[in-house]
C-alpha cells in the first residue's frame, strides 16, 4: 500500500461483490499501482483479479479457508489452518454445495417445517425415496428448498415427509452375511480389525448398504466380513534379533566401515554408510580382533602393537 496526501476511495477487483461501506470508504492508504482490493480488503495483483471472471460471485483470495461455509450445513468445528489460493465466496456468500457455485447467504436462510429436513440451495434432481432409494442421479441442481437429511428418504413429497429406510412400508432389509445390518448412512471410516476406531473421521454418509452390527468390527470389506474384536487376527510377533557368539557383542543392522579398535588413539572420522549387518562391539568396548570378533574394554587392549595378533585387522563377518 501507499499513503496518499488526502483520503480517497480505493479500486476494487469485484465492486459488485463488495459491501458499499467498504467500496466508498475514504482511505489514507491505497493499493500500489498494478494492485486492487478484493472483497476482503486485501491488495492483490491485477492479473490475479482476472482469474475469477468465469466463476460467478467469486473473488480472488490468496489465503481463503480450507473449510468454506456450505449452504444448509453447520460450520465445521475442526478445520486445518491451510491457506487455499484461488477463487472463493466473498463475505455474504456461501457455497450452494461442496465445490458448487457461490450464492447469497440470504438464500440459505429458509426453514423447513418437518422433521429430519434441512434447507439447501441445490436440491437433487432425483432424491432418494422409499420406492427408489438407490437410484443413480446426475450431479445437477434442481432448484432450492427442503430435502431429507442424510440417512433418511422421502416417504411423501407434498408435504415433504422424511423417514428412515427401515420405516418405509414393505421394505425389507437383507444383508448377505452374518453380524451385518442395513443402514442408509454408512460411516466413512468404520471400525476395523486394523484399529481405526479412534481416528478422526469426516462427517457425512458414504451411501447406503450393509455394515457391521454394534459390537462387531470389519475384518474384510469386499466381501463384507464382520467379527468380534476378540476374533481379529493377532499381529505377527517381530522376529528376535540374532544372538552374537562372543561376549560384549551386540547385533547391529548397520555396521560401521571403520569401527573403534584397540589401536585408535582418538575417535576416527568415518563416512555415514553401512557395511552390512552383523555383530559389533557394545558401547564402551573396542575391537581387539576382527575375525573372529573379539571385544574388550579400552584398559584391556594390548599396550604394544607387536603384542597383538600379527595378521592384519579385519572387519567382523557380515551378512547382507
DSSP secondary structure string for all residues of 75-97: PPS------EEEEEPPTTEEESS
Give the per-residue pLDDT at 317.
46
Q: How far apart are CA 46 and CA 31, in angstroms?
A: 11
pLDDT of residue 281: 94
Identify whether 127 is part of a domain.
yes
Longest dimension (CA), the chain: 104
Mean pLDDT is lowest, of 13-27, 132-146, 148-162, for 132-146
Average confidence (pLDDT) over 294-318: 63
pLDDT on residue 304: 61
In a domain, 192, yes or no: no
Q: For residues 57 and 101, is the Cβ–Cβ distance under 8 A?
A: yes
My answer on whether 313 and 249 are in the same domain is yes
- Whether 319 shows a pLDDT value over 60: the answer reads no
Instruction: Judge whether 237 lies within some domain.
Output: no
Residue-level pLDDT at 314: 43
The reported pTM is: 0.40
Answer whether the bond into residue 94 is a cis peptide, omega within 30°.
no
Residues 119, 85, single domain; the answer is no
Give the pLDDT score at 173.
Answer: 67
Q: What is the pLDDT of residues 265-288, one digit of tens each?
A: 777 778 878 888 899 999 999 999
pLDDT band at 227 (very low <50, low <70, confident <90, very high): very high
Domains identified in the chain, total number: 3
Q: At residue 198, does pLDDT exceed 70?
A: no
Predicted confidence at residue 307, as pLDDT, reads: 47
Question: Does residue 317 form part of some domain?
Answer: yes
- Of the candidates 80, 147, 69, the residue with the CA atom closest to the CA atom of residue 113: 147
Of the listed ranges 19-23, 68-72, 161-165, 313-317, the one predicted with least confidence: 313-317
129: domain CATH number? 2.10.25.10
Specify the pLDDT at position 320: 42
| pLDDT greater than 70 at residue 150 | yes
* Residue 48 pLDDT level (bands cut at 50, 70, 90): very high
pLDDT given for residue 20 in this prediction? 87
- Separation CA 191–CA 28 (nearest Å): 58
Residue 116 · residue 127 · CB < 8 Å: no
- Asked whether residue 235 is domain-assigned, the answer is no
With respect to residue 48, please indicate whether it lies within any of the assigned structural domains: yes
Which domain range does residue 129 map to? 110-170
Q: Is the peptide bond before 292 cis (omega within 30 degrees of 0)?
A: yes
Shared-domain flag, residues 58 and 126? no
Between 304 and 52, name the one with better pLDDT. Answer: 52
Domain-located, residue 261: yes
Tell me if 104 sits within 8 A of 96, measured CB to CB: no
Distance CA 230, CA 217 (A): 10
Which residue among 89, 121, 138 closes a domain? 89
8-state DSSP, 131:
S
pLDDT number for residue 212 = 93
Of 170, 187, 210, the residue that ends a domain is 170
pLDDT higher at 61 or 264: 61
96 with 123: CB under 8 angstroms? no
Average pLDDT of every residue of the chain: 83
The answer on pLDDT for 38 being more than 90 is yes
Would you say residue 203 has pLDDT above 70? no
- Domain for residue 256, yes or no? yes
pLDDT of res. 101: 82
Amino acid at each position: 500500500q501507499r499513503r496518499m496526501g488526502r483520503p480517497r476511495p480505493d479500486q476494487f477487483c469485484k465492486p459488485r461483490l463488495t459491501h458499499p461501506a467498504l467500496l466508498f470508504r475514504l482511505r489514507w492508504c491505497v493499493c500500489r499501482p498494478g494492485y486492487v482490493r478484493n472483497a476482503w480488503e486485501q491488495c492483490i495483483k491485477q492479473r490475479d483479479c482476472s482469474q475469477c471472471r468465469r466463476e460467478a460471485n467469486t473473488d480472488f483470495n490468496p489465503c481463503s479457508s480450507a473449510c468454506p461455509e456450505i449452504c444448509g450445513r453447520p460450520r465445521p468445528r475442526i478445520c486445518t489452518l491451510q491457506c487455499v489460493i484461488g477463487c472463493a465466496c466473498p463475505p455474504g456468500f456461501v457455497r450452494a454445495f461442496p465445490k458448487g457455485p457461490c450464492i447469497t447467504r440470504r438464500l440459505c436462510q429458509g426453514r423447513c417445517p418437518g422433521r429430519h429436513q434441512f434447507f439447501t440451495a441445490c436440491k437433487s434432481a432425483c432424491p432418494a425415496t422409499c420406492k427408489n432409494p438407490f437410484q443413480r442421479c446426475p450431479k445437477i441442481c434442481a432448484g432450492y428448498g427442503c430435502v431429507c437429511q442424510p440417512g433418511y428418504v422421502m416417504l411423501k413429497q407434498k408435504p415433504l415427509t422424511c423417514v428412515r429406510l427401515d420405516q418405509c412400508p414393505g421394505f425389507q432389509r437383507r444383508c448377505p452375511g452374518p453380524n451385518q445390518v442395513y443402514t442408509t448412512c454408512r460411516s466413512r471410516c468404520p471400525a476395523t480389525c486394523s484399529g481405526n476406531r479412534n481416528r478422526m473421521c469426516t462427517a457425512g454418509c458414504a451411501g447406503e448398504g450393509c455394515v457391521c452390527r454394534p459390537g462387531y468390527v470389519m475384518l474384510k470389506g469386499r466381501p463384507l466380513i464382520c467379527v468380534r474384536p476378540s476374533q481379529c487376527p493377532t499381529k505377527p510377533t517381530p522376529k528376535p534379533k540374532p544372538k552374537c557368539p562372543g561376549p560384549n557383542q551386540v547385533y547391529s543392522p548397520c555396521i560401521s566401515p571403520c569401527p573403534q579398535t584397540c589401536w585408535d588413539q582418538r575417535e576416527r572420522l568415518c563416512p555415514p554408510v553401512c557395511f552390512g549387518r552383523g555383530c559389533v562391539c557394545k558401547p564402551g568396548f573396542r575391537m581387539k580382533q576382527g575375525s573372529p570378533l573379539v571385544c574388550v574394554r579400552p584398559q584391556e587392549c594390548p599396550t604394544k602393537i607387536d603384542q597383538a595378533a600379527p595378521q592384519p585387522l579385519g572387519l567382523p563377518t557380515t551378512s547382507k
